[in-house]
Amino acid sequence: MIRLPAGDGLVLSVARYLSPAGSGWHGEGLKENVAIPLSAPDKGADPEEKQLRRALELVAAEGAEAAAKAA
């Protein structure tokens, strides 16, 4: 705690972000698990929209697999 002249205080802290596996990505950023390249027809489309659609497909597929294993 750092006391400020007006009587207020400031808490200075540091954090480190880790993946569930325990590896850090500070200064490196996240690496994609699945690359989604843009093809020629996609060049005019919103790349984030394509990535979102593909991510939702992957999550739905993993959910279906988990449900099938649980049944």
Q: What is the pTM of this model?
A: 0.44
Query: What three-state secondary structure class fits 53?
Result: helix
- Of 24, 4, 2, the closest CA to residue 13 belongs to 2
The answer to whether the beta carbons of residues 16 and 7 sit under 8 Å apart is no
Predicted local confidence at residue 38, as pLDDT: 67
d(CA 1, CA 56) in angstroms, rounded, equals 43
pLDDT in tens, 3-22: 999 999 999 888 888 888 88
Residue 43: is its pLDDT beyond 80?
A: no
Q: Which amino acid is at 26?
A: H
Query: What three-state secondary structure class fits 24?
Result: strand
d(CA 45, CA 55) in angstroms, rounded, equals 16
Predicted local confidence at residue 9, as pLDDT: 93
